[in-house]
Structure 1
């Protein structure tokens, strides 16, 4: 996927939200935004949305140093999903194949809106995630392989969706389950700190 023009205001709004949440001064905000816009203007349009998202983290580094500027956003994302974790698990266990349901929710984790003030409706979320067809649907084969597996590794991505990865591991119950994290903060990606906070160690190494 290449950069879309809509990626620019989306990432800029994220940058401003992070600056506000970390109580940056007005002049600091202007300098960071100026640097971000300059960096974006010089980007190759064949780059990916991940590349423009990485710019957000890069322009924040001089201001926040080693501190985690995304800390509040990551915690909010995880907390919102943890609030409905037990309900989601209960709903999954009612399905004919809970594992396929858990796989669908894990995929849907990428698009679940965890913006400030947004309350996730468990029923609409479940209905949409479980009923939406995949363009290429190999879920049954994947589920069958997982059921036969002796080990399973999930490469962690963003906070929030990591809670749904935990749910998948909880449902799958593969004997040797592993979950990998970032070694240091990078945007809203999960690190060891957040993984332990959501209890990932209860279902995986």
Structure 2
């Protein structure tokens, strides 16, 4: 996805929050902010790709502050929020055991995102509200048909916490007699899920785990490992969670492979690009 004008202040908001998490050194914050402003002034323009710029910015913050995981505390909070709500979400999906309920649960997990929504967001209320919403874009019929005609599914994970609800959906996907491989980040960036995060909630009990080989926000084809590219090519279908993966996949040649984006449209640029309202639930075949 290309940047929209609103992405500029969002980058600066994320940079401030990440710097406050990464270091208490005010002089260092100023120096890193100067670097980020220079980077954005040189690279933020019409046609620039949003998750590429976001990745460069957060890598700059990690490198310059020496903090490899500024969102480490938020990772713990995300898991705590998800695990707190898991029994209620499980109760809701069991009332209607169809695939759509599990897809909505996975999207409800997608709102656990301090990067897109900010550190002061009320995640608990957002989860409850999201679970009640229907899909504004609903390609679930195509997704179910693709599942029936596939043997392997590549599931692109998004955030810590969110993967707790992904586990529910993946269990449901397995009923279609498919092998599911979950791709996670090689190293921390924002509150994106890495393999240790997945292991901590037992995601390996229901799926194979793989690394994208990088710490990019979403997928950036030129940045991921050759092993991940081979996995992407070999998989019969792809289910991608969240904004970062949507931003990256829309910049890639996906060919005829069934690729589905599962997200909550948490910001105006993403909502506008899809043709929905902010806060809408989306299940879109790309």
Given candidates 194, 199, 202, the residue that maps to 1:199 is 202
In the TM superposition, what whole-angstrom CA distance separates every residue of 1:26-71 from its partner, at most 9, and x where no partner exists? 1011011111111111113211221221132222133344722232
Q: Distance in 1 between matches of 2:144 and 2:193?
A: 25
* Offset at residue 106 of structure 1 (A): 2.6
Unmatched tracts of structure 2, length 5 or more: 209-286
Q: What is residue 61 of structure 2 aligned with on the other side? A: 60
Equivalent positions of 1:39-50 (< 5 A) are: 39-43=39-43, 44-50=45-51
Q: What is residue 120 of structure 1 aligned with on the other side? A: 124
Q: TM-score, normalised by structure 1?
A: 0.82
1:141/1:3 CA distance change after superposition, 3 Å: closer
* Offset at residue 92 of structure 1 (A): 1.0
1:78–1:163 Cα contact (<8 Å) kept: yes
Q: Distance in 2 between matches of 1:45 and 1:110?
A: 28
Structure 1 window deviating more from structure 2 (34-43 vs 101-110): it is: 101-110
Higher strand share: 2
What is the root-mean-square deviation of aligned Cα atoms in Å?
A: 2.5
2:108–2:131 Cα contact (<8 Å) kept: no
What is the total number of aligned residue pairs between the two structures?
200
Structure 1 window deviating more from structure 2 (145-154 vs 75-84): it is: 145-154
Q: TM-score, normalised by structure 2?
A: 0.61
Q: What is residue 69 of structure 1 aligned with on the other side? A: 70
Equivalent positions of 1:21-170 (< 5 A) are: 21-43=21-43, 44-65=45-66, 67-95=68-96, 97=98, 99-107=99-107, 109-112=109-112, 114=114, 115-116=119-120, 118-121=122-125, 122-128=127-133, 131-134=134-137, 137-146=138-147, 150-170=151-171
Q: Distance in 2 between matches of 1:158 and 1:118?
A: 16
